[in-house]
Structure 1
Amino acid sequence: MSLKTQIDAFEVQKKANVPADILNLMDVTTEKLIAEQLSEHALKVGDKFPAFELPDSKGKQISSTELLTKGPLVLSFYRGGWCPYCNLELRALNNMQQAFADQNAQLVAVSPQLPDESLSTQQQNELAYTVLSDVSNSLAKKCGLVFTLDERLIPVYDQLGLDIPKANGDESYELPLPATYVIDSQGVIQFAFAHEDYTLRAEPLDVLNAVKALNHV
């Protein structure tokens, strides 16, 4: 089943269970973010991806230099384990983890969550790949992905039990756009997806095909 099919099914459930006024506010704030065209300033194919060193879910520092010595890097930015769309994407990538490994691709997910929160996300989704903590969105900012959650959504998120300050360790409410990059051994982006609409995600099969194309150049 494609990731889009899974997300479409979740959308049906959400519309059946979430009050109409909240759904409307989510739509309005998403449309506002789309209008700001933040993704136009995000890193694109052909750009050099910034070198980084971030802690994994157990606190070990992981560097992009180290990862790229092993093969292409597939990097997926997600908002947090509190986001159901992110969890669907994380699991969909995990289901294809072996296919990525067969292409010598290193699959890595990145969020602004603290390492302990990243560990919870990794365990709850039974992820077999590396999950990194980009605290304060330092890497996401270099990629042009960061926005501040619309203040109108803060009480709604509180009502839904989504505690972003606890997950991220700050009160900024800064989040990354969902984004996926395929980066070659020279650190150059060969596939890029970023969108202001958090319900839209890169299809894992498209990402895998980008890796395969890279390996056959």
Structure 2
Amino acid sequence: MAAGALAEGTLQAKLAALHAERVRSWSADDLADNIGQRQRLAARFRPGQTLQPGQAITPFSLTDTAGGLLHLANLVANGPAVLVFFRFAGCPACNIAIPHYRDTLAPVLASLGVPLVAVSPQVPERLRDIHTRHALPFAVASDLDNVVARRLGILFSYDEKAREASRRKGQFIGDVTGTATWELPMPAAIVLDQHCRLRFIDASPDWLVRTESGPIIQAVRQALDHPDPA
């Protein structure tokens, strides 16, 4: 869909504007590398590869930017919880998506008493920047070793073409994240209920396509209204 056809103020419209600016300002080679990697990831992705709604996830802990642990059991102790997965603190698209969730998702969840956590594999000390820069009222936490992303089936690794492109620029994503690997999570939003069951998952292999707040809020309301679905 063309950027002009997107509803003003939506997350997707903001990300489309980012892409349009890159088309205007990036070199042809850099733009081709970026588009090519996203297209290859999208071509390989199969929705069935992710954990499916109704399935439970085994207990896990995340490490917040202060070094504390966020345990799954505590997050869902009083009802559903929402996790939004992003790539890393310096990712331009993430710096559009996360503040968008701050403004459009976090206030609704807070009014419902539902915790929201933004999750990245980046080491905790490097995630502090995105937390403070956007004055986020919710937790930002590290999924160390991509444990949760792997369980959810949303993990990907740079293919050889993408690695070659990164090497030409003198970049290694493992240095940026502090993980020493080529792995990143796909941008994703999940809703977990108090039984640690997945009630909603939306993952995009293309990091310029991300979940709007509306479907997340709808899934949360359904989980609150029907805590024990058949």
Give me the whole-angstrom Cα distance separating, in 1, the residues matched to 2:159 and 2:31. 14
- CA displacement 1:39-59 (0-9 Å, x = unmatched): 431112111123211210010
The within-5 A match list for 1:104-119 is 104-119=113-128
Query: TM-score of the superposition, structure 1-length normalised?
Result: 0.91
Q: 1:70 deviation in Å?
A: 3.1
Q: RMSD between aligned alpha carbons?
A: 1.9
Partner of 1:88: 96
**8 Å CA contact retained: 1:39, 1:145:** no
Aligned sequence identity (%): 28
**5+ long unaligned stretches in structure 2:** 1-8
Match of 1:73 among 68, 76, 81: 81
Runs of 4+ in 1 over 6 A off after TM superposition: 158-162
Instruction: Tell me the secondary structure at the aligned position of residue 84 of structure 1.
Output: coil
Q: Aligned in 2, Cα 1:189/1:90: closer, same or farther, shift over 3 Å? A: same
Query: TM-score of the superposition, structure 2-length normalised?
Result: 0.86
Give me the whole-angstrom Cα distance separating, in 2, the residues matched to 1:161 and 1:107. 35
- CA displacement 1:137-164 (0-9 Å, x = unmatched): 1111111111111343346456778663
Q: Aligned in 2, Cα 1:121/1:157: closer, same or farther, shift over 3 Å? A: farther
The within-5 A match list for 1:24-35 is 24-35=32-43
Match of 2:211 among 197, 202, 206: 202
1:14 paired with 2:50, answer: no
Q: Aligned in 2, Cα 1:168/1:181: closer, same or farther, shift over 3 Å? A: same
**8 Å CA contact retained: 2:63, 2:144:** no
**8 Å CA contact retained: 2:61, 2:71:** yes
Q: Aligned in 2, Cα 1:97/1:160: closer, same or farther, shift over 3 Å? A: farther
Partner of 2:140: 131
Partner of 2:6: none
State the AA in 2 paired with 1:152.
Answer: K
Q: Aligned in 2, Cα 1:102/1:118: closer, same or farther, shift over 3 Å? A: same
**5+ long unaligned stretches in structure 1:** none
**8 Å CA contact retained: 2:146, 2:155:** yes
State the AA in 2 paired with 1:147.
Answer: F
Tell me whether 71-80 or 153-162 shows the greater mean CA deviation.
Answer: 153-162
**8 Å CA contact retained: 1:76, 1:178:** yes
Q: Aligned in 2, Cα 1:184/1:14: closer, same or farther, shift over 3 Å? A: same
Give me the whole-angstrom Cα distance separating, in 2, the residues matched to 1:139 and 1:24. 31
